[in-house]
Amino acid sequence: MMIADHTESLREAERRLQAAQLASDVDALDDLIEDTALFTGPDGSVLSKRDDLQAHASGYQVMSRVEEEDLRVLVTAGTGVTLFLGTLEGTFGGERLAARMRYTRTWTLDDRAGWKVIAAHAAIVGDAPAEG
């Protein structure tokens, strides 16, 4: 498969991840995230895949809006990076969050399992714009 094909398949994987986050679809998230993955949150905390799945499964994290504004995709060999910019809204531990966010995700390509997130970093880059 050519790099261009991998670029499109990674773009599709990123969008499946966004949809799984919005739906708190733990099974889909489990398929899209490598078991050893680590995430750096906007507050600097480091979380595991298990932490992320538990947040969705328990209702601690409930997304009501994931709106992509920009998505950049970089692929080289079996590694890819997605740079998402968009608006997220939801509740985290009962607290409402509405923010413009930047996510940088590093992905690895497994010939059988497809793309899986191995690391991610999230940053708040501004207030959420009003829905239009």
pTM as predicted: 0.90
The reported pLDDT for the residue numbered 31 is: 97
SS3 of 47-83 = EEHHHHHHHHHHCCEEEEEEEEEEEEEEEECCEEEEE
Q: What would the pLDDT profile of 52-68 be if each residue is shown by its tens digit? A: 999 999 999 999 999 99
Q: Residue 3: pLDDT above 80? A: no
| Domain residue extents for the chain | 3-127
Class for the domain spanning 3-127: alpha beta
The reported pLDDT for the residue numbered 132 is: 57
Q: What would the pLDDT profile of 29-87 be if each residue is shown by its tens digit? A: 999 999 999 999 999 999 999 999 999 999 999 999 999 999 999 999 889 999 999 99
